[in-house]
Amino acid sequence: MDDQTALLKTQLYAACEEACSGDPDRLFTQEDLTALDVIPPKDIKKLLQLIQILTNERLFAPVHLHSGLAWRLRPEAEAAKYKQLSSHDQVLVYEIIDAAGAEGAWQQDIKRRLNVQDNALRKALKELEAKRLVAQFTTVENISKKMWIKANIKPSSRATGGPWYTDQFLDEAFIEALQSVVMSFIKNRGSYLSKGERSTRSMSPVLPKKGIINGATSEAAIKSKKRTADAISKDETPSAPAARPRKTIRLPLPAGYMEYPTTEEITAGIQAAEVAKGQPLKQEHVQELIDVLVWDNRVEEIRMGNRVGYRAVRITKQNPSLYSKPGDEDFWEPRSNGLTSVPCGKCPVFDLCEEGGPVWAGGCEYFDQWLT
Amino acid sequence: MSSMDNFPQYASPCSLAYALALESTLRLQSGTLQRIVATLLARGRSNVRDLALHTSLNPKQVRHGLALVIQHNLVFYQTDHETAATTYEANPQASYHLVRIGKILDVIDRKYGIMARNLVNDLLMLGHVEIAELVRYHRLKHGPPKVKINGEQNHNHDHDHDPDDDFDNDNDLENGDLDDSFNDDTHYVNGNGTAHGTADDAMPIQANEVYDTLAQLIAAGVVESVSVTMFQSPQDLKASVEQECMKEFPNGIRGAKVMTEFDTMVKSQIKAIGVERATMKRKLQENALYEPSNIKRRKLANGGMSNGFAGDSGGSILRDEPNMVVRLNLDKCLVELRNQKLTEHAEDFVGETTAQVFAGLLASLCKKVYRCQHDQYTIMTEEEEETYFTGVRVTSEEIFDHLSPGVDVSTGIGAASEEDIDIRFAEKIRKYPPQIQGSHIQGTLDEGDEILGSDDEDYDRSGEHLKGTHVNGHRGSIAQNGTKMGGDYSGESQSSRAEQMRHMRQHLLILTETKQQFVRHCGQNEWTVDFGPLIQQLRYVELDTMIEDNFGRQGLRLTRILREKGKLDDKTLPAMALMRKPDVHVKMAEMEMAGFLEVQEVPRDNNRAANRTMFFWFFDEARTIKRVLDNAYKSMVRCLERLEVERYNKRAILSLADRRDVQGKEEEMLRGDVYNEYLEFIEIEKKLLSQVSRLDDLVSVFQDF
């Protein structure tokens, strides 16, 4: 390798480094490399030589793409680690683990790809581990798999399961607690808390948390107006709804309400409340939580143009208090229908039941319990 | 008939009337009718000879029984013109409706008043009957020295203030009590609170009154006049009409032109039948002002009794035709039941006041809704057909007129500052009904809607006018001179109407905004309900309720994910549901066992080893609904079976209580322990029958609405 080549090599590497400063995972194809203006144009031979050298020095890592070969830049510090490797096996194994990056490589996979003896592989891995180049970890997707990763990087969120996993286990308590936070946030922002006392006219209206309305549209005004209307027909209708003692209840907001919280707002709310300090929650994580609440039939999506907000379902049936302990029944009254209340709805031997059969309604013990 | 009067007083109206229905069919006829109907259901169309053979009755008994069941419309018959042989066929819908009688009576009571209820009750007892006879029977039975009908104490209404004006009851009854009345009678709200007079016990019933009520029911379509064609099954009817028309084409029907000619002829004939059936109804609608609005306006406007209509009303028209035969129109009753169910759901989803507004909307809408479902055999008049294809819509005014006066429309919605409300979205007009897509109603708001006209027409601008603090004569009726709040009200009732209208609109808008789309804002100040998609949503609601109850919140979560995403394998599911994999597996297996989920195995290679197989879970909607429906029927039968057993176990006591001298005064006549045991039985009976009725609610949602 003459001086000129060495110089060009350094130049090329520096140019590449600069080109991929924004995106460290950028891949360079042959065209990209020529476009860097380091190699004299059309001198493919030189380019080939340089790439060969760089690859040998582990500064370039070849990547096979559908469109052909490309190279990824490897930092010099990383490349230096290859120098510590003593055996050929170690190099091969380390290459695979290195290429796998944050996802990690499965031991079986390494073995299959290298086609080496089990103990050779184990030996190589042991040596690598001793040199603190690789580390073993487990992925949440399959706890029994032996996974290897470079020692200096952390497993990807896919492997760790993101914020929902603590030590490879789904942290259900954490999820549940966060869900109730999200729930109460949505409930609070997307409904109106009506206190029972307000039904008497003299009381001042409970002010909505956002924007106080004065004058005509305030509750008091509506109320007083309404009374006059009511007074007219009072003789015939002793206004049953008003007479009924009112409880504290959450009320739906008028149609067209634009402030139903969106995912961003909920995320911001959670961050502000500092409920998940150790685990900074990103928007996509909060979205996952909301999705689950939607599937749970606790929350529904409401679209206002481009704004996708969320609000609680059956708001008047909700427990008006915002904070419920985990495990509390969140609805005021659970729904029921014929099949949920009759013992047959839950009967484990429903399909066996018939007149004259081993089980029948006349002698059914579930009915016995239910009827007494 | 006597057994109906002695029914226990504590049973709720629903179970009571249901029991009555059962009584009347099962007990009174000592099983003859039941046997005949059951045989017809099992064997299909039969003649008297076959029936006698299979029921082990003699032909005379069969004929007698058939006459009775035909009277109740439980059986159709068809006489062949050439052979003069008559065949009989069961009418399964009508038979099933016996279960619903309690609810029907309840709904009638609420909407049309106690007298209407009693009339319908009589009608059910008598089957189809001449008007004169019905009125006579009604006066005889509900006349002064009568024994109070059980369950009535809940529903006594004051006839005393104006005995001639029984329409007055309407207002009290329309208040739409949303709770299941058979669950808890105590909060039965019907406007008059507890101050019901029982004066009607002392007052003889005026024939006029009865005629008027009957006329009202006929005009509303709840009661219909019977024509000969009603005794044939719709299929037979169509066939015979076709046969009739065939005579006009002696050369047979060949070629497209003749075919269409024939089709139009058949159609017009069938329409003619429909028109003929609706003659009396039309006449009454035209002549008498049975618009509830008339009544309502009187109340709201000035509270006085500026009685809108003179005595010359429907009653007198009916009097001229004492021989007209009438029966209950089950189709229309079903519509009323559906309205009630929908209102209950609106209450559940949104709130009480909103549900009342919804009830008002449904009441005004359903004047033009004649049945819940229809098929090719349904006989419709021109006008009815039109409403199916174009849909019915009502204006805000009409809804307001149907609002029960006790509703305080200013309640039930939270306050929000005005800048948070975007009127363009709130008042969005949707011209077309939503398309059902999976379990989701695709908001027509997303796309598509933008094409319909310019931005300006996309929403209802009248809402904007109403929104302001002052009502500026938008309706052309109010000239409120720019007074701000607290100012004087010159035309107080007028302004309050506008104000209330504004509030009511807010409720309607909330309903349009719901995920279930209870209401569609289909034009400037016009509203409609898309029953099909809405009922579909309710089916999901009922399914979800069941799943949540059986498999908990997580089970619900998993099924809903599958419903939304289609088929998923066991890897993706836990990640989406944020659940542990083993938990998911347990739940899925549980639900699969119960038939709520299905699994599909896709082997990855030829040797179908379990670990080389992918499992895809999915939710088969149609199958699940069918299964649930089936289970509901089965559970109903089991409840009834159980009831029979309980009855048998307590037969000694029941036979005692059944004695003439004990009936109605069990408490005094029976020995303490016997009475207690009797009460126990009543309790059980009540429970079982109300369960049957709740199961029927499910059946209605899944099948009939």
Say what the pLDDT of residue B169 is: 34
Minimum CA–CA partner of B686 in chain A: A371
Least confident of A213-222, B128-137, B359-368: A213-222
* Inter-chain residue contact B469 with A313, CB threshold 8 Å: no
Say what the pLDDT of residue B652 is: 86
Between CA B690 and CA B696 the distance in angstroms is 10
* φ, ψ at B313 (rounded to 5°): -130, -160
Least confident of A288-302, B383-397, B634-648: B383-397
Q: When comparing pLDDT for B113 and A274, which is higher?
A: B113
Is residue A125 a contact partner of residue A85, using CB atoms and an 8 Å limit?
no
Q: What is the CA radius of gyration of chain B?
A: 28
Q: What is the CA radius of gyration of chain A?
A: 34
Q: Indicate whether B493 pLDDT > 60.
A: no
User: For B560-584, what is the HEC assignment?
Assistant: HHHHHHCCEECCHHHHHHCCCHHHH
Between CA A60 and CA B539 the distance in angstroms is 61
Say what the pLDDT of residue A88 is: 81
Domain boundaries, chain A: 1-75, 85-160, 172-197+246-335, 338-371
Say what the pLDDT of residue A106 is: 86
Q: Indicate whether B461 pLDDT > 60.
A: no
Alpha-carbon dihedral angle through residues B213, B215, B219, B224, given to the nearest 10 degrees: 100
Between CA A191 and CA A259 the distance in angstroms is 10
Q: Is A212 on the interface with B (CB under 8 A)?
A: yes
Between CA B235 and CA B238 the distance in angstroms is 5
B223-225 β-sheet, strand order:
B129-130, B325-328, B223-225
- Alpha carbon separation from A236 to A199, B192, B298 (Å, rounded): 21, 8, 11
Average pLDDT over residues B575-597: 85
Average pLDDT over residues B430-444: 56
- Alpha carbon separation from B607 to A86, A117, B610, B611 (Å, rounded): 44, 28, 9, 10
Work out whether strand A249-251 and strand A299-304 pair parallel, antiparallel, or are unpaired: unpaired
Q: Which two tokens stand for residue B198?
A: 């029982």
Say what the pLDDT of residue B105 is: 87
* Inter-chain residue contact A237 with B550, CB threshold 8 Å: no
**Considering the domain A1-75 in this protein, what is its CATH number?**
1.10.10.10
Minimum CA–CA partner of B512 in chain A: A255
Least confident of B163-167, B437-441, B612-616: B163-167
B498 burial via Cβ count (<10 Å: 0-12, 13-18, 19+): buried
Say what the pLDDT of residue A248 is: 75
- ipTM for the predicted complex comes to 0.73
Q: Indicate whether B479 pLDDT > 50.
A: no
Say what the pLDDT of residue B664 is: 74
Q: Indicate whether B445 pLDDT > 50.
A: no
CA distance B405 to chain A (A): 7
A 143-172 residues inside an 8 A Cβ radius of B:
164, 169-170, 172
CA distance A102 to chain B (A): 20
> In chain B, what percentage of residues exceed pLDDT 90?
0
Between CA B89 and CA B415 the distance in angstroms is 59
Tell me which of A316, A317, A349, A354 to substitute to probe the interface with B (most B C-beta atoms closer than 10 Å).
A316
* Inter-chain residue contact B557 with A292, CB threshold 8 Å: yes
* φ, ψ at B9 (rounded to 5°): -75, -20
Q: What is the pLDDT of residues B32-55, one digit of tens each?
A: 777 788 788 888 888 888 888 888
Average pLDDT over residues B480-490: 36
* Inter-chain residue contact B417 with A253, CB threshold 8 Å: no
Say what the pLDDT of residue B459 is: 57
Average pLDDT over residues B657-662: 78
Topology (CATH) of B535-619 = Arc Repressor Mutant, subunit A (1.10.10)
Average pLDDT over residues B16-43: 60
* Inter-chain residue contact B418 with A217, CB threshold 8 Å: yes
Identity of the residue numbered A166: T
Q: When comparing pLDDT for B263 and B310, which is higher?
A: B263
Between CA B142 and CA B144 the distance in angstroms is 7
Mean pLDDT of all residues belonging to chain B: 72
CA distance B549 to chain A (A): 6
Question: Which of B415, B509, B638 is the closest to A344 by Cβ?
Answer: B638
Q: Is A354 on the interface with B (CB under 8 A)?
A: no
Q: Indicate whether B554 pLDDT > 80.
A: yes
* Inter-chain residue contact B684 with A302, CB threshold 8 Å: no
**Considering the domain A172-197+246-335 in this protein, what is its CATH number?**
1.10.10.10
* Inter-chain residue contact A339 with B645, CB threshold 8 Å: no
Identity of the residue numbered B528: T
Tell me which of A259, A300, A307, A337 to substitute to probe the interface with B (most B C-beta atoms closer than 10 Å).
A337
Minimum CA–CA partner of A162 in chain B: B575
Is residue B135 a contact partner of residue B212, using CB atoms and an 8 Å limit?
no
* φ, ψ at A304 (rounded to 5°): -125, 90
Say what the pLDDT of residue A47 is: 81
> Is A85-160 a CATH 1.10.10.10 domain?
yes
Least confident of A28-37, A114-123, B180-189, B648-657: B180-189
- Alpha carbon separation from B188 to A244, B12, B177, B567, B582 (Å, rounded): 12, 12, 6, 46, 48
Model-wide pTM > 0.95: no
* Inter-chain residue contact B634 with A288, CB threshold 8 Å: no
Q: What residue ranges of chain A have pLDDT lower than 70? A: 1, 161, 168, 196-247, 276-279, 322-333
Question: Which of B427, B576, B691 is the closest to A338 by Cβ?
Answer: B691
Say what the pLDDT of residue B507 is: 86
B550 burial via Cβ count (<10 Å: 0-12, 13-18, 19+): middle
Is residue B414 a contact partner of residue A208, using CB atoms and an 8 Å limit?
yes
Q: Which two tokens stand for residue B194?
A: 């507890």
Q: Is B426 on the interface with A (CB under 8 A)?
A: yes
Q: When comparing pLDDT for B450 and A17, which is higher?
A: A17
CA-wise closest residue to B164 among B302, B299, B312: B312
CA-wise closest residue to B446 among A304, A263, A287, A262: A304
In this complex, how many residue pairs, one in chain A and one in chain B, have their CB atoms less than 8 Å apart?
283
Say what the pLDDT of residue A277 is: 67
Say what the pLDDT of residue B11 is: 32
* Chain B residues with beta carbon closer than 8 angstroms to that of A304: 422, 425
* Chain B residues with beta carbon closer than 8 angstroms to that of A191: 414
Range among A349-353, B6-10, B428-432 with highest mean pLDDT value: A349-353
Q: Indicate whether B294 pLDDT > 50.
A: no
Say what the pLDDT of residue B200 is: 42
Can you list the alpha helix ranges (DSSP code H) found in B430-480?
Answer: 462-467
Domain boundaries, chain B: 337-529, 535-619, 624-704
